Amino acid sequence: PGSTTLEFDNAAYRGSISLNTGLFIDGKWVDPVEPDMIDIINPASGKKIAAVSLGSSKDVDIAVKAAQKAYKTTWGLKCPGSQRGKLLTRLADLMERDIDQFTALESLNGGKPFAVAKGVDLAGAISTIRYFGGWADKIHGKTIESNETKLAYTRHEPYGVVGQIIPWNFPILMLSWKAGPALATGNCIVLKPSEMTPLSALKFAELVAEAGFPPGVVNIVNGYGKTVGQAISEHMHISKVAFTGSTLVGRKILEAAARSNLKVVTLELGGKSPTVIFDDCNLDQTLKWAMQAMYLNMGQSCVAGSRMFVQEGIYPEFMEKFTAMVKAFGEATGDPFAPTTMHGPQVSQVQFDRIMSYIASGKESGATVHIGGDRHGTEGYFIQPTIFTDCTPDMKIVKEEIFGPVVAVMKFKTEEEVIEAANATDYGLSACVFSENVGRALRVAHAFESGSVFVNSAQLIECSIPFGGYKASGIGREQGEYALETYTQVKAVHVNTGLII
């Protein structure tokens, strides 16, 4: 199997990183059964960084067999929770040791500003693995009182082999959200990173081996969605699939599960999250949060606050200050490794084109480009942070997930009106409300049809707090204690302690 060495020489990171570029199956680096490669692109330049192996359904079969064997012999119920926890904690420590290498890979492959990637993606991924390591020996069922001659208890057993399909917007972070709870509960995994951003997953696999996980517990099969992703979702010996990505693909995974073995499916899908700003908010604080809600990670965030509702009394002052902030943020666009950069490129040419077509649609449908609305520079996939005003609910830019740095701003009058408008979407992932009136803030928080609500804040997702969608934004919860439920199945054991007379 191949390998590559990436050289970095910039203010944020100096050094070289060697990576295996094959598939990681049964604790070893292997070539795909049918050799194939994909070029990995630096989105800041549009140029090739490396080439990595692409697997197929045949490699998924091999990985599933390795995972089944590990589950029956060295993992699952054969391995005490304390030992699984120890390995996960060790893995978190190794990730922390190599945090700068991971960050450099995420910045190079995903165009993320280095400091943000380190503080958000890597800090989050490491704490997630460590957090779930802490749960590994605290997973247990209940004893249920029935009658005098019966003892009943439950066991929270792992599924066995689980499939995990990861997107490109937060590669190592989404990997940790999937791997952490799956491994803590004793499952073995067959994981597919996004074909566009596999580098940090390759590095992760190396640390899995170094930490001492038994072979076959973690298998990483890089490849396309239509081949490897589909093979995972229709595999007869994968008992659960966890997916993060588009709603379109989420539907395909559910269909594949229904057609094959009725595997359990959890989905984290898109969003069109509202940010609701009342006249009585703390304006300076709200401006900072609203910026972050929308523009973090170049708007490529499932919780992006891409519909902003501003109450009419504060609208002129808010818009004036918000515009100035977004302009300053846009001026900090550039090389992800430069210390001053806040805004990097979109992940790919395809995403760039998609976002530009949404911007064109906004213009055509009569919305006003308040700021931005164009590409930045001539190289790479950079797009200016963009604000649309004069938006109406029927516009595509208000209804559909753009997954780029484009916000649609709307003015509102009353609390009732804004609740209805905020909920008028098929999605329900996240929502923000800004008000210093605690009664109003909580009334609105409770009225939102969404899996997460942030009051006077945004985007602060944490490993100990459940995350997931209402409506078309998904099924199931990741993170926190709730995530353990989606990686275990409950067995009820009935014990007769009496005699039939």
Based on DSSP, count helices (H) and strands (E) in the chain, helices before strands: 16, 22
- Output the CA torsion sign for 392, 395, 400, 406: negative
> Using CB under 6 A, which of 194, 239, 311, 386 touches ligand NAD?
194
Q: Which DSSP state fits 51?
A: E
Query: Smallest distance, Å, CB 342 to ligand NAD?
Result: 21
Other C-beta atoms lying within 10 Å of the C-beta of residue 328: 12
Told to check if 448 binds ligand NAD by CB under 6 A, we report no
Closest residue to ligand NAD, based on beta-carbon distance: 225
Whether 38 contacts 19, CB under 8 Å: no
Burial of 149 from C-beta contacts in 10 A (0-12 / 13-18 / 19+): exposed
What the block records as the tokens of 176 is 């940790």
Known active-site residue 302: yes
For residue 164, the minimal CB distance to ligand NAD (Å) is: 10
List the x/- string, 264-303, binding to ligand NAD by CB under 6 A: ----xxx-------------------------------x-
Q: 74: how many CB neighbours lie within 10 A of its CB?
A: 16
Query: How many residues in the shown chain lie near ligand NAD by CB under 6 A?
Result: 27
* Choice among 106, 268, 401, 415 that is catalytic: 268
Distances (CA, A) of 476 to 258, 424, 449: 17, 22, 15
- Whole-number Å distance between alpha carbons of 287 and 485: 37
| Of 269 and 290, CB closest to ligand NAD | 269
Residue 452 Cβ vs ligand NAD, minimum distance, rounded to whole Å: 13
Which is closer to ligand NAD, CB of 20 or CB of 230? 230
Q: Whose Cβ is closer to ligand NAD: residue 165's or residue 211's?
A: 165
What gap in Å lies between CA 13 and CA 348, rounded to an integer? 23
Distance CA 203, CA 126 (A): 14
Which residues in the 339-358 window bind ligand NAD by CB under 6 A? 354
- CB 328, min distance to ligand NAD, A: 26
Q: Site for ligand NAD (CB under 6 A): which residue of 253, 291, 319, 484?
A: 253
89, 101, 169, 341: residue in contact with ligand NAD (rule CB under 6 A): 169
For CA atoms 252, 256, 262, 265, give the dihedral sign.
Answer: negative
Binding of ligand NAD by 238 (CB under 6 A): no
* Number of C-beta neighbours around residue 325 at 10 A: 15
Q: Which is nearer to ligand NAD, 54 or 391 (CB)?
A: 54
Q: Would you tell me which residues interact with ligand NAD (CB under 6 A)?
A: 165-169, 192, 194-195, 224-226, 229-230, 233, 244-246, 249, 252-253, 268-270, 302, 354, 401, 403
Which residues have a catalytic role annotated? 268, 302
